Amino acid sequence: MPAPVSQPRTLYDKIWDDHVIDIDENGQALIYIDRRTAGRPVRRPDCTLATVDHNIPTASRKNFTTVEDFVSQPESRAQCTTLEENVKAFGVTYFGMKDRRQGIVHVIGPEQGFTLPGITCVCGDSHTSTHGAFGALAFGIGTSEVEHVLATQTLLQRKAKNMRITVEGKLNEGVTSKDVILHIIGKIGTAGGTGCVIEYAGSVIRGFSMEARMSMCNMSIEGGARAGMIAPDDITFDYLRGRPLAPKGEVWDRAEAYWRTLKTDEGAKFDMR
């Protein structure tokens, strides 16, 4: 149930509230999922993107003919061929081995403008938290959860705790976002973010490029967190504008107006700082 308008909310609270369909007596919520990647019976093919990445070899594709011939490892080959069959059967957008857009799923989502602020995004990979750099609530899910999302476009979840990590100041030359997140993990420990969604804030974070922010959110998992998030801003909008799958024209204008509301309110409560 959405929080009262007058109550200050965090970035995570806002996106969570916008996607809750129902909450049971035990506090477990059914949330709507905007984006996912897989290839099974699909309720919303238009919201689903499938690609092959972790199971394919890094060898040259110069003489590529078929997945069966190219992928030698039996388990990986079976997963890739099954995916190809499923996307054909259910009309899912697919970036396959011959598609120049094919790549690591955490890169192609942002690259294509499929990842947008304010959405919920799930994938069968723990580092789906990468997409949180765009102000999305993004996290990895298991096989049975993937099946549930594909069939229903929803997912049962218990709301995580709010955690905020603020990084202020100026970084020394040569210090990158990877160094920053490794330092954070060193401070909080590999279980420091357990049960939490971490929002990264502060002047250092605001000064990072989208690629740097993606590195931060990607490694939230190494700190034990469910997801990492960064509020969208002009850097985010400039990155997304004109991307193939991003909104265009008047739709973009309406979307950007909403995205600009996706920031933690003054006085919002965090469980951990």
Tell me the pTM.
0.90
Q: Of 214, 154, 222, which Cα lies nearest the Cα of 188?
A: 222
Domains and CATH numbers, the chain: 11-259 (3.30.499.10)
Residue 51, pLDDT > 90, answer yes
Q: How far is CA 200 from CA 22, 49, 53, in A?
A: 28, 27, 28
Question: Phi and psi at residue 121, in whole multiples of 5°?
Answer: -135, 125
As a whole-number percent, the residues of the chain with pLDDT over 70 amount to 96
Residue 157, pLDDT > 80, answer yes
Q: Of 121, 148, 149, which Cα lies nearest the Cα of 134?
A: 121
Kindly report the average pLDDT of the chain as a whole number: 93
Region 95-106: mean pLDDT is: 92
How far is Cα 20 from Cα 1, in angstroms, rounded to an integer?
7
Q: DSSP letter at 3? A: P
Residue 121, pLDDT > 90, answer yes
Q: What is the pLDDT of residues 183-233, one digit of tens each?
A: 999 999 999 999 999 999 999 999 999 999 999 999 999 999 999 999 999
Where residue 60 falls among pLDDT bands split at 50, 70, 90? very high
